Chains A and B, each alone.
Chain A
Amino acid sequence: MTSDQPPAIDVVVTIDPDAVSVVTGLREAGMQVRETLTSAGVVTGSAAPDALAALRAVDGVQAVEPSRDVSIPPPEAPLQ
């Protein structure tokens, strides 16, 4: 790994719940798996931005998206 490589980004991946080896496949494709959410059918973790295409090609993967930030205003704001 070279030092000028862009940092890994957080990703969310929907998987076919019936695919048995999809988490192994995601790891092999370069994903650092954080959690496997079996009710939602989602795997969370991080990967290099240029690895997303490889993640999408893994058997049993349905969609791969960068994890977006979500925020609400500070408590004193009248509009929430």
Chain B
Amino acid sequence: MQDESQGTPRGPETTGRTLVLFTRNATAQAPDMLQQTAGISALMSPELGAEPVAIKDMAEDGVVYQELGVAVVDADPDQVQALETAVAGEQPVLAVEAERVVYAIETSEEAPPDAPPTAAPWPDTEIGTWGLYATGALASSASGAGIDVAILDTGLDERHPDFATRNPELRSFVPGEEARDGHGHGTHCAGTSCGSRMVFEGPRYGVATDANIHCGKVLGDSGRGGDQGIIAGIDWALASGCDVISMSLGSPVAWNTPHSQVYETVARRALDRGTLIVAAAGNESDRRNDRVNPVGHPANCPSIMAVAALDNAEKIAWFSCGSDPKSGQVDIAGPGVNVRSSWPIPDRYKAISGTSMATPHVAGIAALYAEAKGVRGLDLWAALIQQARRMDLPSLDVGIGLVQAP
């Protein structure tokens, strides 16, 4: 008798039936041998019907599986003893064993908590937001150190604890407003592109955790702005030596609207100087009702990288604008649905959706390439495109695919 209190391992659970293994050539005589040796009656497996049947419901004591050379039998202890004697003797029996109970190995719905997710649908975890997993940013060894990133938006709430150690450069281009973010959008976008590795609360959400942050306020606390302020912000970013400019802003355009010559010229000059401009494709679609609107202004300029939004299942976001083959294309896609990032105090964090949230993922990853590969301008553009993950989705919606960190 086993004493379980001592932790003695128990033998395998058995069914009460017995397995008998025959030599390869002896299977045909197996029923006769079982009968003569141990008084066990057995059917050959071809005599079984198509329907499964339990041995206990059969007239016979067991079945010989002809192809396997194995019999499964109901045998009492005396009969088992007789079979084991036969193994030692001249009979064509190789082994006698108790049949073990086996179970299907349980499949777990969730990976162990310490294993990072590896495929869509991407979860938010305690470690990082879903977008950092989907883009590989969390696993990247690059941090954007030494790279200057400009976020042209509603400014930044520099009192947020997650920016306390980052010394962001702030400048307002909105008449009568300080650079501090009185909206939230700018603080959210700065968080996604350049938020810190160590955060006050919750998961990491920032891509380029060591980049130098330049927040230009070109949209007022009301969320409104115009081309004059935006271009003044671009000029400031260029003069400040920024390597990447992130613009989660735009205005809707009608199909077949030519892109702005002014922005295209400025973006081209920026690329020539080694500065990449990334902009939101726009949220004017309603794909739930089969309505797709074209990439907005100024993301529709060929020399500005236009960013579409994906959800955590890697489907196109219902609101994400699509390419207008005649006047403006989506270039790449990023995480843009239920994106958690920083928000002005006292809220500190918020999850929102939009191509505005996809854009700073791309801008932050651009900073990672700029650091890791030493590329700028058009070479940086090429690195982002070459390394993006191709998707089983129309390029009109997602461009080259999902941005991937180096």
Contacts and interface: CB of A to CB of B under 8 A. Distances in A.
A70 B226 contact: yes
Contact of B228 (A67, A71, A80): A67
A70 B251 contact: yes
Closest 6 CB pairs of A and B: A37-B235, A63-B261, A39-B238, A80-B354, A40-B235, A67-B227
A9 B395 CA distance: 38
Contacts of B305: none
A12 B354 contact: no
Interface string B84-96: 0000000000000
A6 interface: no
Contacts of A1: none
Contacts of B266: 14, 40-42
B35 interface: no
Nearest to A15: B265
A72 B219 contact: yes
Given A12-B228, A65-B227, A70-B251, A40 B188 contact: no
B352 A79 contact: yes
Given A10-B228, A79-B352, A80-B185, A73 B223 contact: yes
A78 B350 CA distance: 10
B140 interface: no
Interface residues of A, number: 29
A34 B228 CA distance: 10
Nearest to A45: B228
Contacts of B319: 79
Contacts of B297: 68, 70
B234 interface: yes
B357 interface: yes
Contacts, number: 110
A32 interface: no
B238 A70 contact: no
Overall SS of chain A's interface: strand
A24 interface: no
A38 B238 CA distance: 10
A9 to B, nearest CB: 11
Contacts of B353: 78-80
B27 interface: no
B399 to A, nearest CB: 21
A40 B229 CA distance: 12
A80 B235 contact: no
A61 to B, nearest CB: 11
Interface residues of B, number: 41
Contacts of A74: 222-223
B289 to A, nearest CB: 15
Nearest to B343: A75
Nearest to B296: A70
B224 interface: yes
B262 A42 contact: yes
Interface in A7-56: 10, 12-14, 34-35, 37-42, 44
Contacts of A63: 261-262, 265
B70 to A, nearest CB: 63
A40 B231 contact: yes
B235 A42 contact: yes
30 contacts: A12-B228, A12-B231, A12-B262, A13-B262, A14-B265, A34-B228, A35-B228, A35-B232, A37-B232, A37-B235, A38-B235, A39-B235, A40-B266, A41-B266, A41-B269, A42-B266, A44-B232, A65-B262, A67-B228, A68-B227, A68-B297, A70-B225, A70-B230, A71-B222, A72-B219, A72-B248, A79-B352, A79-B354, A80-B248, A80-B353
A72 to B, nearest CB: 4
A22 B188 CA distance: 40
Contact of A79 (B231, B235, B283): B283
B301 to A, nearest CB: 12
B376 to A, nearest CB: 15
A31 to B, nearest CB: 13
B196 interface: no
A79 B353 CA distance: 5
